[in-house]
Amino acid sequence: MYDLSIIILASGLSKRMGQNKLLMDFKGKKMYQHCINSVKKCDIKQKIVVSAYDEILEYARDMGDFTIVKNENQALGQSQSIKMGIAKVNPCLGFVFLPSDMPFIAEIFLNKVCDFFMKDTSCIVVPRVEGKNSMPTIFPFSLYDELSNISGDIGGRDIIKANLSKVRYFDVKDGQVLQDIDTMEELEKYADI
């Protein structure tokens, strides 16, 4: 079992989509269900879902094995979900942050990223495709205080920039696994793949 806490971020406002993308159907399931189902299969010590949406929280609760956190302040941005999630974390080696709009993330990929982090638990793991940073990102527990004090909608990017010497890139050849869905065009494009 990985001595990690994974925090699923499921409070987004879906501004580019024009409606709540997490509750939209994608390949026979709701968007958020793909992510939660993959995380459920992972052998990670603690699994947390932070969401503003009751449907998502109820689904995670019904799956079992998840700590659920209601985000009443989603307008404060992704940082609010991050702070609320890590406030529920038990001591561990690190935090995995995973947005719930990444339906192609699979258990096997999550395990590979966790294995990569376990080689050096003081590093920050940033997946990337063709030089472009993505998620899920893993931060060591030593950055708990910094993560607790972030603000706005930029997540942990400033912490990554301030700790570049700790960053280890996890290069991914198949970019689809890291694809998030932000627009109707992307939803339609990837629904047929």
- What does the pLDDT look like over 144-193, one tens digit per residue? 999 998 876 667 888 999 999 999 999 998 776 766 666 667 666 667 66
Write the CATH number for 67.
3.90.550.10
Q: Taking Cα atoms as reference points, which of 9, 52, 44, 49 lies closest to residue 180?
A: 9
How many domains are there within the chain? 1
Token pair 């985000």 in the structure block, residue: 71
pTM over 0.85: yes
Encoded amino acid at 151, one letter: S
Range of the domain at 26: 2-191
